[in-house]
Amino acid sequence: MSLIEIENLSKVYTIGDTSTHALRAVSLQIDDGEFVTVMGPSGSGKSTFLTIVGGLSAPMSGRVVIDEIDIYSLRRDGLSDLRREYIGFVFQSFNLVPYLNVLENVLLPLAPTGMQAKKQTAVAGDILTEVGLYEKAKHLPGELSGGEQQRVAIARALINDPLIILADEPTGNLDTATSESIMQLFKLLNERGKTILMVTHNPGYRSYSTRAIDFRDGTIVGDDMKYIPQMSADYREGREFQQNIWTHD
């Protein structure tokens, strides 16, 4: 059974008398442990695809099934719970709250969980250590570089230990060296067992992924699946990072 099953997704945006078919009956399956790069020109439907898979925008027709759960059959609160449990989101624009410090931004997804405050802080501290930002836990986003802000966003996405990470152009606002560091982190997360779907315009990032999907005009025109290594049991159980990959800001 695939971790994510996508069946005949269609989405149409209508503005006035003009209708745009963002997705046209898209179907595919994504297995646990895949790292999928989603590519295509602007307007091809790739970001719409990602938001629908992430439970952020309902399709006009079709289904998204995650871990055997038909996500759009859920009530609104059930869908919110599923997103919190299964999915971590990383966006190009970071989406950090400017008046909250780094630690507070990372803690945001834990607010509805009922976890004790002391434990929340300990978990967030561990993740900030992993991404090399523990010493900047009390800094505001505006006091950080772009690369540091994206690392905060990734830490926030990881705070609930989700099975799936959805990333939409996560290096779009970063320089080349910082972008490579971010991609190294995604690769390491995938090696730990995270399933990753990443929208990108950079064809060079195909080398980090186990599968590359190409969109055009709302349909899939290419699906290049590579060998997916078997994840070891300790990675599946969430072993701590064993190396510091942050060599660039």
How confident is the model over 198-244, as pLDDT tens digits?
999 999 999 999 999 999 999 999 998 765 444 444 444 443 433 34
Specify which of 107-116, 188-197, 221-230 reaches the highest per-range mean pLDDT: 188-197
pLDDT tens for each residue of 147-165? 999 999 999 999 989 999 9
Biggest alpha carbon–alpha carbon distance for the chain: 56
Among the listed ranges 76-85, 101-110, 177-186, 229-238, which one has the minimum average pLDDT value? Answer: 229-238
CA gap 142, 80 in Å, rounded: 29
In sequence order, what are the residues at sequence separation of 6 or more whose Cβ sits closer than 8 angstroms to the Cβ of residue 46? 38, 39, 40, 199, 215
Residue type, 240: E
pLDDT for 142 beyond 90: yes
Looking at residue 213, the DSSP 8-state letter turns out to be E
Closest CA to 169 of 50, 58, 64, 57: 50
CA distances from 210 to 35, 37, 88, 136, 173 (A): 5, 8, 19, 33, 24
The model's pTM = 0.85
Per-domain residue ranges of the chain = 33-59+72-236
The CATH architecture annotation of domain 33-59+72-236 reads: 3-Layer(aba) Sandwich (3.40)
